[in-house]
C-alpha cells in the first residue's frame, strides 16, 4: 500500500505544479492584454480631443463666420475641455477664414522619462 500512496502523492504534486503553471500563464496573458488596452486607450483620447477641437472650430466658423483665434477661445465659448496635465494642444491658424492646423501632443510622465 505504501507504493500506491507514493504514486498518489507524486501525481497530486504534478497536478498542483501544472495548475500553478496554468494560473501563472493566465495571469501573464491577462496583464499583457490590460497593458495593450491601456496603450490603445491613450491614443484614442488624443484622437477624440483632436476631433473635439476640430468640430468646435468648424462650429465657430459656421456661427461667427471666422475660425477661433485660439484654443482658449474654444474652451471659454464652445465648451471644449482639455486635460492640460496630459496633453499639449498646438493650434496654428494664420487667417480667420482658413482652417487652423491642430496638433495634440501627449505630455510625457516624469517617471517615464527618467
Answer yes or no: are the C-beta atoms of 101 and 92 closer than 8 Å.
yes
Give the model's confidence band at 39: pLDDT under 50 very low, under 70 low, under 90 confident, else very high. low
Average of per-residue pLDDT across 88-108: 89
Percent of the chain's residues with pLDDT above 90? 41
CA 92-73-65 angle, 5° bins: 80
- For the stretch 42-71, pLDDT in tens is 568 888 999 999 999 999 999 999 999 999
* Phi, psi angle pair for 86, to nearest 5°: -105, -30
Integer Cα distance of 35 and 10 in angstroms? 38
Domain ranges of the chain: 2-113
CB 66: neighbour CB atoms within 10 A?
A: 13
Integer Cα distance of 5 and 81 in angstroms? 69
Q: Is the pTM of this model over 0.95?
A: no
Amino acid at each position: 500500500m505504501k507504493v500506491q500512496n507514493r504514486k498518489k502523492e507524486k501525481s497530486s504534486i504534478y497536478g498542483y505544479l501544472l495548475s500553478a503553471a496554468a494560473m501563472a500563464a493566465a495571469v501573464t496573458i491577462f496583464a499583457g492584454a490590460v497593458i495593450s488596452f491601456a496603450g490603445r486607450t491613450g491614443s484614442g483620447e488624443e484622437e477624440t480631443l483632436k476631433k473635439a477641437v476640430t468640430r468646435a472650430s468648424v462650429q465657430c466658423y459656421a456661427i461667427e463666420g471666422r475660425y477661433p483665434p485660439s484654443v482658449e477661445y474654444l474652451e471659454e465659448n464652445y465648451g471644449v475641455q482639455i486635460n492640460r496635465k496630459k496633453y499639449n494642444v498646438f493650434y496654428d491658424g494664420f487667417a480667420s477664414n482658413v482652417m487652423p492646423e491642430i496638433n495634440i501632443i501627449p505630455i510625457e510622465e516624469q517617471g517615464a522619462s527618467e
